Amino acid sequence: MRKCVFSILAAMLVMRKTLTMILVCIASCTIIAGCGSSASSSDSGTSEKVKELSDEVQELSEKVQELSDEVRKPSDEVQEVLEETKETSEDLEDHSPEQESAVTVEITREMQKKLNTFLSNFAEQNMGKFDYGHPLPAELAEFAYRWTYINKNNEIGITTDGYYTIGLDKVKSIVNRYMDVTLTDEDLYSGDWSGEYQGFVRDDKYFVPAADGETFTTFAVVTSLTEEGADNYKAQFDVYDVDIDYYYEQDDWNSIPGKYYPYSVAEAESDTNLIKRGSGYAIIKKDGDSYKLRYYEF
């Protein structure tokens, strides 16, 4: 793209120089011819001829300037295209999962559990994609509700007209804790509530239509970790489901899938009670002993 643009600019500059040279040559020839023919004229006639030639040169100079302006216009337009292309390129680089400075990190047993646990917060909700740069209040509120439903079920309220509820302060706290996004009441009250759960905000609470209990048997296993700079890491991960028959055979359902959070890649691949669903990657930012989600795609 840039090579083509530079070729166009070069051609325009050559055309401009050529036109200028042609016009100057014409002017010079005209002056020489005019001077030769006026050698035998009277002083007054010579002065008039010189003035006429001077006017012609001035007129030619103005035409050269006009042509120069015309050449400059497309150059300015091309410059705008170059700037837009540069901005797009930089934006793509900012969101690219691959960085030249990436350094592979050895995952210890302790790190494995911590990373698996963190990313399972999103995998267990069947999250498809999240981008820190483009958060949607409705999706974030639904994440907070589901997280509470799975991990702190006793904190979910229920109304007499058939809705589960969670306070907006709780929503904002969970979203900030896991995504580092600061939601305001205005964000939540003005959000588009046409998501999967068809929730809505009222009286400082997030309402979701009550439904039969869901089964959450999904978790993530980090397969590799690379340091991207500025405390950012790229985590490749696999997502697994616990076999539903095996799940219902367990006495303590609440221990599933938490018992799998420490699993390494080899342990997950060899466990016959697990079903691999696929792979994804996430960009996470180190935050003390935990992480914040920057990007997620599965």
Single-letter amino acid, residue 132? Y
The residue ranking higher by pLDDT, 195 or 150, is 150
pTM of the model: 0.66
Give the CB-side neighbour count of residue 136, counting CA atoms within 13 A. 10
Residue 124 has a pLDDT of 94
Q: Which of 77, 95, 113 is where one domain is finished?
A: 95
Kindly report, residue by residue over 241-260, the tens digit of the pLDDT.
999 999 988 887 777 878 89
pLDDT digits (tens, 9 = 90+) for 263-282: 999 999 999 999 999 999 99
- Given 35, 66, 95, the domain boundary residue is 95
- The tens digit of pLDDT for each residue in 78-130 reads 466 446 545 544 544 455 444 456 899 999 999 999 999 999 999 999 999 99
Q: What pLDDT score was predicted for residue 84?
A: 53
SS (H, E, C) the chain: CHHHHHHHHHHHHHHHHHHHHHHHHHHHHHHHHHHHHCCCCCHHHHHHHHHHHHHHHHHHHHHHHHHHHHHHHHHHHHHHHHHHHHHHHHHHHHHCCCCCCCEECCCCHHHHHHHHHHHHHHHCCCCCEEECCCCCHHHHHHHHHHHHHHHCHHHCEECCCCEEEEEHHHHHHHHHHHHCCCCCHHHHHCCCCCCCCCCEEECCEEEEECCCCCCCCEEEEEEEEEEEECCEEEEEEEEEEECHHHHHHCCCHHHCCHHHCCCCHHHHHHCCCEEEEEEEEEEEEEECCEEEEEEEEC
pLDDT at 58: 72
Domain hosting residue 126, numbered range: 103-297
- 115 and 84 within one domain: no
pLDDT at 65 exceeding the cut of 80: no
pLDDT of 37 above 50: no
Tell me, yes or no, whether 155 and 223 share the same domain.
Answer: yes
For residues 262 and 117, membership in a common domain is answered with: yes
The model's pLDDT over 135-181, given as tens digits with 9 standing for 90+, comes to 889 899 999 999 999 999 899 999 999 999 999 999 999 999 999 99
Please tell me whether residues 15 and 59 are part of one structural domain: yes
Our count of domains for the chain comes to: 2
